[in-house]
Structure 1
Amino acid sequence: MRCLTLFATFFSTVLFFGCKKSNTKEVAISGINFETIAVEAPFNMPEIKIPDFSNSKQYVITKYGAVADDKNKTTEAIHKAIDLANENKGGTVVIPKGEWLTKAIHLKSNVDLHLEEGAVLLFSESPEDYLPPVYTSWEGVECFNYSPLIYAFQCKNVAITGQGEIKAKMDVWQKWFARPEGHMQNLKRLYYLAAEDAPVEERQMVNDTANLRPHFIQFNRCEGILIDGIKITNSPFWTIHPYLSKDIVIRNVTVFAHGHNNDGVDPEMSQNMLIENCVFDQGDDAIAVKSGRNKDAWRLHTPAKNIVMRNCVVKNGHQLLAVGSELSGGIENVFVDNCTLAQDAKMFHLVFIKTNERRGGYVNNIYVSNINAGNLKNGVLGIETDVLYQWRDLVPTIERKLTPIENVYLENVSADSVQYVSRLLGDKELPIKQIELKHVSAKNVLEQKHIHENVVEFSESDLIFKR
Structure 2
Amino acid sequence: MTPIFASRRCVLYAGFAVPLFASYAHAASGLSHTQVSASAPFDMPSIRVPDFSKAKRFPITDFSASQGDQAATSAAIGKAIDAAHRAGSGVVVVPEGVWPTGKVHLKSNVNLHLSKGATLLFSEKPEDYLPPVQTSWEGIECFNYSPLVYAFDCENVALSGEGKLRARLDVWKVWYARPKPHMDALVALYDMAYKNVPVKDRQMVAGENHLRPHFVQFNRCRNVLIEDISIEDSPFWTIHPLLCRDVVIRRVKVRAHGHNNDGVDPEMSQNVLIEDCVFDQGDDAVSVKSGRDMDAWRLDTPAKNIVMRNCQIKNGHQLMAIGSELSGGIENVFVDNCHFIGDGKGEDGWAVPINNLLYVKTNERRGGFVKNVHMRNVSATKIQGSVLAVETDVLYQWRTLLPTYVRRLTPIEGLHVSDIRVEEAKYLCLIKAEAEMPVKDVSLEKVRAARLTDVPLINRDSEVRLS
The answer to whether the superposition gives a TM-score over 0.5 is: yes
Provide the residue aligned with 2:273 in structure 1.
274
Provide the residue aligned with 2:392 in structure 1.
385
The alpha-carbon deviation at position 343 of structure 1 amounts to: 4.3
For residue 407 of structure 1, the aligned residue among 401, 414, 428 is 414
Preserved CA contact (<8 Å) 1:30 1:56: no
The alpha-carbon deviation at position 378 of structure 1 amounts to: 1.1
Q: Which amino acid aligns with 1:65?
A: S
Q: Write the deviation string for residues 19-51 of structure 1: whole angstroms up to 9, x where unpaired.
A: xxxxxxxxx954522111121110000110000
Q: Which amino acid aligns with 1:241?
A: H
Provide the residue aligned with 1:200 in structure 2.
199
Q: Which amino acid aligns with 2:209?
A: A
Tell me if 1:363 matches 2:370.
yes
Provide the residue aligned with 2:465 in structure 1.
459
For residue 444 of structure 2, the aligned residue among 428, 433, 437 is 437
Task: Tell me the distance in 2 between the aligned counterparts of 1:343 and 1:151.
Answer: 31
Q: CA RMSD in A?
A: 0.9
Task: Tell me the distance in 1 between the aligned counterparts of 2:98 and 2:68.
Answer: 8
For residue 405 of structure 2, the aligned residue among 378, 388, 398 is 398
Give runs of aligned pairs for residues 8-157 of structure 1, distance below 5 A.
Answer: 30=29, 32-157=31-156
Task: Tell me the distance in 2 between the aligned counterparts of 1:383 and 1:293.
Answer: 18
Task: Tell me the distance in 1 between the aligned counterparts of 2:190 and 2:299.
Answer: 16
**3-state secondary structure, aligned to 2:49:** strand
The alpha-carbon deviation at position 202 of structure 1 amounts to: 1.2
Q: Which amino acid aligns with 2:192?
A: L
**3-state secondary structure, aligned to 1:459:** strand
Preserved CA contact (<8 Å) 1:182 1:209: yes
Provide the residue aligned with 2:284 in structure 1.
285
For residue 429 of structure 2, the aligned residue among 422, 426, 432 is 422
Q: Write the deviation string for residues 428-460 of structure 1: whole angstroms up to 9, x where unpaired.
A: 11011110000001111111111111112x101
TM-score, normalisation: structure 1: 0.92
Task: Tell me the distance in 1 between the aligned counterparts of 2:52 and 2:171.
Answer: 35
Preserved CA contact (<8 Å) 2:319 2:356: yes
**3-state secondary structure, aligned to 1:175:** helix
Task: Tell me the distance in 1 between the aligned counterparts of 2:56 and 2:179.
Answer: 47
Which runs of no fewer than 5 residues in structure 1 stay unpaired? 1-27, 462-467
Q: Write the deviation string for residues 90-122 of structure 1: whole angstroms up to 9, x where unpaired.
A: 000000100000000000000000000000000
- Number of residue pairs the alignment of both structures matches: 433
Preserved CA contact (<8 Å) 2:90 2:111: yes
**3-state secondary structure, aligned to 2:343:** coil
**3-state secondary structure, aligned to 2:71:** helix
TM-score, normalisation: structure 2: 0.92
Task: Tell me the distance in 2 between the aligned counterparts of 1:367 and 1:168.
Answer: 34
Task: Tell me the distance in 1 between the aligned counterparts of 2:38 and 2:391.
Answer: 30
**3-state secondary structure, aligned to 1:297:** helix
Preserved CA contact (<8 Å) 1:31 1:53: no
Task: Tell me the distance in 1 between the aligned counterparts of 2:319 and 2:404.
Answer: 30
Q: Which amino acid aligns with 2:411?
A: P
Task: Tell me the distance in 2 between the aligned counterparts of 1:167 and 1:160.
Answer: 14
Preserved CA contact (<8 Å) 1:31 1:55: no
Give runs of aligned pairs for residues 298-377 of structure 1, distance below 5 A.
Answer: 298-345=297-344, 346-377=353-384
Q: Which amino acid aligns with 2:126?
A: P
**3-state secondary structure, aligned to 1:72:** helix
Preserved CA contact (<8 Å) 2:302 2:329: yes
Q: Which amino acid aligns with 1:459?
A: R
Task: Tell me the distance in 2 between the aligned counterparts of 1:191 and 1:31.
Answer: 43
Provide the residue aligned with 1:237 in structure 2.
236
Which runs of no fewer than 5 residues in structure 2 stay unpaired? 1-26, 345-352
Task: Tell me the distance in 1 between the aligned counterparts of 2:339 and 2:455.
Answer: 25
